């Protein structure tokens, strides 16, 4: 089999964002676009991680969205062209993001390529994405993604092989010249890992006792995982997993597990004869939403509750060394860490920042406000794992989720929390808004906005305590003297215009006030945050497009 070098002109728009490169399918479909990006990854690795993919084992899989199959074939040929010895690819080109991480770690692979645009819509007019994960199973750290970007700007050719598409629909081994391709069951390794982490006997007993779960896979990648784990291994009734057939366009929906896009699930849990517990995950299976009877549990609260109850899970029976949350995530977990006497780290948004803390054993549990929860079993956030964690806690405590949450708030206080997204903004305008905030930081202290006084404000910069790397400009933080925090940052995962995210948080110690509605509880703070950044004037909008 002959390796050919194909000349290519650099694409100037291939800078990886919060989680890999995300673009419209139409952009990824341009001749040479996937090839140039993936070759740039391979070209960057010798300088970025000290070794090349030649002779190594890589993992490949994606969430099954439109273009997944095309991209998988192109990338397999590039892998062969670059001398990769062996590839583990999920059957049909499918692997959830957490499963990619599990397979990389389980097989000691050099790295892996994830094909997904996560919670973004799919289909021919939707989004696609490519992300590189390193040998610890986690997303490439910034040092690596920076090197990849530099290589995208100077690439002149890619190396590939000229062979027809390979059949990937059956488990087994095929060869592409010298390269061995092992087509693996996408669920097997992952499910086995889950059995090592959780008390499956106890969860199975919960289901035998009539407990009802509704898991909404949103026609994304987790359907087969949910069927195998919840229904087959844990004995939950057939139909526990709904929308469990992965579809290339996710049935035309946003595979984003939040109260807006998973409204069916929220409604089911509010019905008088509804299930006991509900959950959903996103396109690539790394996010989770959990819902108690009549109550959505916010991701920030979920992280705190899981931290407080971690010892009920066999994997964590000796407790947690520490925890971490992304900066905009509410500080509910900080209170649990303080009570447990363990460290709590605050990292920039994006899972790649948890990797070094997990590798060093400083933390074993971490999460983000954006429905991401995960631990040291892999190096990605993990949707099905988070649901199993809750089921294990519910089985061990024998109480409903809503009671556990209410008890948590009584003990630690409640952090009212919401994120306001302003989507589809002109990129330049959004950039100016952040620049303006940044420029005003030194004069904000003491100023009043809609009844709130600024106590402190900064532009969040993170120094990784393990490797010393610095990540600046990770969001504007404002702390108010009256209590409450506002954070402003721009999304790094969108594919159309810019999205401004405004994160609001207010602590309420008084249990008598924990039942107040979220909107009411946060309205004054929201007004102050909008006034401080002059949102209405600058954006010409009085309301966010999404409240999460």
Q: Applying CB under 6 A, which part among 172-180, 314-322, 365-373, 410-418 lies near ligand VG1? A: 365-373
Q: Which of 83, 123, 492, 497 binds ligand VG1 (CB under 6 A)?
A: 492
Q: Which of 372, 475, 484, 544 binds ligand VG1 (CB under 6 A)?
A: 372
The candidate with the shortest Cα–Cα distance to 333, out of 376, 292, 372, 296, is 372
Cβ closer to ligand VG1: 258 or 493?
Answer: 493
Q: Applying CB under 6 A, which part among 7-15, 258-266, 295-303, 486-494 lies near ligand VG1? A: 486-494
* Alpha-carbon gap, residue 249 to 411, rounded angstroms: 44
Cβ closer to Co ion: 372 or 484?
Answer: 372
Least separation in angstroms between CB 220 and Co ion: 9
Q: Is 159 helix (H, G, I), strand (E, B) or coil?
A: strand
Q: Which of 39, 133, 347, 349 binds ligand VG1 (CB under 6 A)?
A: 349
- H-helix or E-strand containing 537? helix 535-539
Least separation in angstroms between CB 196 and ligand VG1: 24
* Alpha-carbon gap, residue 280 to 220, rounded angstroms: 10
Q: Which of 64, 93, 350, 484 binds ligand VG1 (CB under 6 A)?
A: 350
Q: Applying CB under 6 A, which part among 68-76, 357-365, 391-399, 489-497 lies near ligand VG1? A: 489-497
Q: Is 300 an active-site residue?
A: no
- H-helix or E-strand containing 181? strand 179-184
Contact between 379 and ligand VG1 per CB under 6 A: no
SS (H, E, C) 340-396: HCCEEEEECCCHHHCHHHHHCCCCCEEEECCCEEEECCCCCCCHHHHHHHHHHHHHH
Decide if 147 contacts 48 (C-beta within 8 A): yes
Contact between 302 and ligand VG1 per CB under 6 A: no
The candidate with the shortest Cα–Cα distance to 500, out of 472, 528, 470, 536, is 536
SS (H, E, C) 183-199: EECCCHHHHHHHHHHCC
Query: In the numeric block, which tokens belong to residue 334?
Result: 């900080």
The candidate with the shortest Cα–Cα distance to 121, out of 66, 68, 70, is 66
Decide if 240 contacts 280 (C-beta within 8 A): no
Cβ closer to ligand VG1: 68 or 493?
Answer: 493
Least separation in angstroms between CB 250 and Co ion: 12
Q: Applying CB under 6 A, which part among 194-202, 236-244, 346-354, 401-409 lies near ligand VG1? A: 346-354
Contact between 351 and ligand VG1 per CB under 6 A: yes
Half-sphere exposure of 75 (CA within 13 A, CB side): 32
Tokens 């302003």 map to which residue?
Answer: 422
| Residue ranges with strand state E in 34-171 | 57-62, 86-94, 111-115, 127-133, 157-161
Least separation in angstroms between CB 41 and ligand VG1: 17
Cβ closer to ligand VG1: 57 or 373?
Answer: 373
Contact between 281 and ligand VG1 per CB under 6 A: no
Q: Which of 68, 491, 498, 532 binds ligand VG1 (CB under 6 A)?
A: 491
Residue nearest to ligand VG1 (CB): 118
Interaction with ligand VG1 in 111-170: which residues (CB under 6 A)? 118-119
Kindly name the residue from 118, 300, 330, 370 that is annotated as catalytic.
118
Cβ closer to ligand VG1: 105 or 501?
Answer: 501
Cβ closer to ligand VG1: 274 or 372?
Answer: 372
Cβ closer to ligand VG1: 231 or 286?
Answer: 286
Contact between 370 and ligand VG1 per CB under 6 A: yes
Residues that bind Co ion (CB under 5 A): 118, 282, 284, 286-287
Q: What is the DSSP string of 387-456?
A: HHHHHHHHHHH-S-HHHHHHHHHHHH-EEEEEEEEEEEE-HHHHHHHHHHHHHHHHHHTT-EETTEEEEE
Contact between 330 and ligand VG1 per CB under 6 A: no
* Alpha-carbon gap, residue 113 to 416, rounded angstroms: 37
Contact between 189 and ligand VG1 per CB under 6 A: no
Q: Which of 14, 16, 18, 130 binds ligand VG1 (CB under 6 A)?
A: 18
Q: For binding to ligand VG1 (CB under 6 A), which residues are involved?
A: 18-19, 118-119, 282, 286-287, 326, 349-351, 368, 370, 372, 491-493, 501
Q: Which residues have a catalytic role annotated?
A: 118
């Amino acid at each position: 089999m002959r390796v050919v070098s194909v000349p290519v002109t650099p694409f100037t728009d291939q800078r990886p964002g919060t989680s890999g490169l995300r673009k419209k399918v139409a952009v990824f479909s341009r001749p040479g676009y996937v090839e140039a990006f993936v070759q740039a990854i391979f070209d960057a690795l010798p300088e970025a991680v000290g070794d090349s993919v030649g002779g190594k084992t890589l993992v490949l899989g994606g969430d099954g969205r439109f273009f997944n199959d095309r991209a998988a074939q192109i990338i397999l040929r590039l892998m062969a062209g670059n001398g990769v010895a062996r590839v583990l690819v999920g059957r049909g080109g499918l692997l959830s993001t957490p499963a990619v991480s599990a397979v990389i770690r389980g097989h000691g692979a050099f790295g892996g390529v994830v094909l997904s645009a996560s919670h973004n819509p799919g289909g021919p007019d939707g989004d696609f994405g490519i992300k590189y994960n390193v040998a610890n199973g986690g997303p490439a750290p910034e040092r690596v993604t920076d090197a990849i970007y530099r290589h995208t700007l100077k690439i002149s050719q890619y190396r590939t092989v000229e062979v027809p598409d390979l059949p990937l629909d059956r488990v087994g081994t095929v060869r592409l010249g010298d390269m061995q391709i092992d087509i693996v069951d996408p669920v097997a390794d992952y499910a086995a890992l889950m059995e090592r982490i959780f008390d499956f006997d106890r969860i199975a007993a919960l289901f035998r006792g009539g407990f009802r779960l509704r898991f909404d896979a949103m026609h994304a990648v987790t359907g087969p995982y949910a069927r195998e784990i919840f229904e087959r291994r844990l004995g939950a009734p057939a139909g526990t997993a709904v929308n469990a057939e992965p579809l290339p366009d996710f049935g035309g929906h946003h595979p984003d597990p939040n109260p807006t896009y998973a409204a069916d699930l929220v409604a089911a849990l509010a019905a008088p004869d509804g299930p006991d517990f509900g959950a959903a995950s996103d396109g690539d299976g790394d996010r989770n939403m959990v819902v108690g009877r009549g109550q959505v549990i916010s991701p920030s609260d979920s992280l705190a509750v899981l931290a407080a109850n971690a010892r009920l899970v066999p994997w964590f029976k000796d407790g947690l060394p520490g925890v971490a949350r992304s900066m905009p995530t509410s500080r509910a977990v900080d209170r649990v860490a303080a009570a447990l006497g363990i460290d709590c780290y605050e990292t920039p948004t994006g899972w790649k920042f948890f990797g070094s803390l997990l590798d060093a054993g400083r933390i074993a549990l971490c999460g983000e406000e954006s429905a991401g929860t995960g631990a040291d079993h892999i190096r990605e956030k993990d949707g099905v794992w988070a649901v199993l964690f809750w089921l294990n806690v519910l089985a061990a405590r024998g109480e409903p989720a809503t009671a556990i949450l209410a008890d948590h708030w009584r003990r630690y206080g409640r952090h009212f929390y919401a994120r306001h997204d302003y989507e589809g903004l002109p990129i330049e305008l959004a950039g100016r808004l952040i620049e303006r905030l940044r420029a005003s930081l030194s004069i904000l202290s003491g100023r009043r906005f809609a009844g709130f006084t600024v106590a402190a404000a900064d532009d969040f910069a993170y120094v990784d305590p393990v490797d010393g790397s610095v990540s600046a400009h990770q969001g504007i933080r404002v702390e108010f003297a009256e209590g409450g925090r506002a954070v402003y940052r721009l999304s790094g995962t969108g594919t159309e215009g810019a999205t401004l995210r405004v994160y609001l948080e207010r602590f309420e110690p008084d249990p008598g006030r924990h039942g107040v509605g979220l909107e009411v509880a946060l309205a004054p703070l929201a007004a102050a945050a909008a006034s401080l950044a002059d949102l209405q004037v600058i954006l010409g909008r009085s309301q966010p497009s999404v409240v999460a």
